[in-house]
Structure 1
Amino acid sequence: MEYRHKTSPSPRKFKVVASARKVLFTVFWDMERVVHMEFLEQEQTVNSERYISTLRALKLRLRRVRRDKDSILQHDNARPHISRQTQDALRQLELTTLPNPAYSPDLAPSDYYLFPQLKKYLKGHHYDNDEEVIADVHKWCRGQSSEFFADGVRQLVKRWRLCVDRDGDYVEK
């Protein structure tokens, strides 16, 4: 609402250009490969129920690819990750998690390592639909060497040490 004189010209309306749609995905990876990934359907959000469903699928995948290796999840403190229902499901699924300081994007390997590399790869590509994006993300993930993933985990170890040395302060670069 705006006040204007009766003879004032009508306000200009700018044409709204639809922004590029986003394809959101959840990814779990270890020192060798991407273990599990899921793509979120358009108009969906990650809540506790959705995250628990993802954790169940992850547990099945871990049984196949990691067999007798221990698995420890390192995730952030987002509400779906720390809700009572999720914590109960983690115990039921016997999935161990690393504690994570609140608001620590510098300790989330996907945020500081995996996603920036993936974004570099995807930059400049144009896709006609979500399926093309998903296929290209799968292709990129399969094309990464185990050394690529090991380097991301090694960086996490360094960042954890810095975080402890700084009493939980941000690590960023």
Structure 2
Amino acid sequence: MEGVVHMEFLEQAQTVNSERYIPTLRALKLRLRRVRRDKDSILQHDNARPHTSRQTQDALRQLELTTVPHPAYSPDLAPSDCYLFPQLEKFLKGHHHDNDEEVIADVHRWCSGQSSEFFADGVHQPVKRWGLCVDRDGDYVKK
């Protein structure tokens, strides 16, 4: 909740699969060891195929990364989808970038400029949405 711990960018036309995602998890684990030290970390991600594959699940166990169970495809419940990315998109809207490096620099600049309260809000904000989802027996929750 204190900020972005690890960030990676894909090359254009590259897709995420288990083969690509597992090295990201390994890099995340190393980064968590350096910056979070004794603090417990919990990984929340959606049910995208690269996150749920047997290979990824095996890697998560091997890396001892704790994950929060996520209901079947519910992008409205992932903090990154309902909070972080819309805020970032608002920031980037109207900016002109000549190349990928400029976009990456702007994303880094924006993330490092956010307060720990901003990230804490992003973690706590979905709790309300989760409640709505439970009240609606798992139905999609619109913004």
TM-score, normalising length from structure 2? 0.95
Percent of matched pairs sharing the same residue: 89
Aligned to 2:46: 76
What is the SS of the residue equivalent to 1:115? helix
Take 2:96 and 2:24, find their aligned partners in 1: how far apart are those partners?
28
Give the CA deviation at 1:64. Answer: 1.2
Aligned to 2:78: 108
Structure with greater strand percent: 1
Aligned to 2:112: 142
- What 5-or-longer segments of structure 1 have no aligned partner? 1-30
Matched length: 143
Structure with greater helix percent: 2
Take 2:116 and 2:84, find their aligned partners in 1: how far apart are those partners?
13
Give the CA deviation at 1:71. Answer: 1.1
Take 1:135 and 1:56, find their aligned partners in 2: how far apart are those partners?
24
What is the SS of the residue equivalent to 1:39? coil
Structure 1 position 159 matched with structure 2 position 129: yes
Could you tell me which amino acid in structure 2 is paired with residue 117 of structure 1?
Q
Take 2:115 and 2:131, find their aligned partners in 1: how far apart are those partners?
25
1:61 paired residue among 31, 34, 45? 31
Give the CA deviation at 1:164. Answer: 2.5
TM-score, normalising length from structure 1? 0.79
Q: Look at both structures and tell me which one has the larger radius of gyration over its CA atoms.
A: 1
Alignment of 1:24-43 (within 5 A): 31-43=1-13
Give the CA deviation at 1:165. Answer: 3.0
Give the CA deviation at 1:65. Answer: 1.4
What is the SS of the residue equivalent to 2:7? strand
Could you tell me which amino acid in structure 2 is paired with residue 81 of structure 1?
H
Give the alignment's Cα RMSD to 1 decimal: 1.1
Moved over 4 A (4+): none
Take 1:75 and 1:99, find their aligned partners in 2: how far apart are those partners?
8
Take 1:103 and 1:136, find their aligned partners in 2: how far apart are those partners?
30
Aligned to 2:102: 132
Could you tell me which amino acid in structure 2 is paired with residue 105 of structure 1?
P
